[in-house]
Amino acid sequence: MHTTGPNDIEIGVHKEYLSTGATTSAVVWTPATGKRIVLTDCDVLPSAAGATSVFFDSDAAPAAETTLNSDGKGTSGRVMKGDFAVNGGITKAMNMPRRGPLDGVLRVTMPATGCYLYVSGYEEQARVSSGA
């Protein structure tokens, strides 16, 4: 059961994705319509050596500096990408939460050997500009 906090922020969403084979752009988390995903933690645990990429909508490499617009859209959707060793992996606690684009889907691409992916965060409504 999910609880909602101030400003319609959904609190404590945890998603798990397991693949025993190669996946390309597999859906991990689709936010409710009119909301965006805000990631706070991401764990990648591959079962063998290979590259894994976690991203919003597109796995494009980021420019030297990625600036997000007020709607959360930027030049890159990539959250992380890495070539991991056998039984390697990474746990990433995001000191500054990563906001996806409005209605942006979190996806993963994994190697043929498979991987576990755990993500935590919440969904938030789009911010409304005052126009001032």
Place 69 in a pLDDT band, splitting at 50, 70 and 90: very low
According to the model, what pLDDT value does residue 9 have?
53
pLDDT tens digits for 77-103?
888 888 888 778 888 888 888 888 889
According to the model, what pLDDT value does residue 107 have?
93
- Where in the chain are the domains? 14-61+72-122
Q: Which CATH number does 14-61+72-122 carry? A: 2.60.120
Q: Which alpha helices (DSSP H) does 5-130 contain, by range? A: none
Place 58 in a pLDDT band, splitting at 50, 70 and 90: confident
Give the three-state DSSP class for 7. Answer: helix
pLDDT tens digits for 1-23?
344 455 555 567 899 999 888 88
pTM of the entire structure?
0.77
Region 58-86 average pLDDT? 65
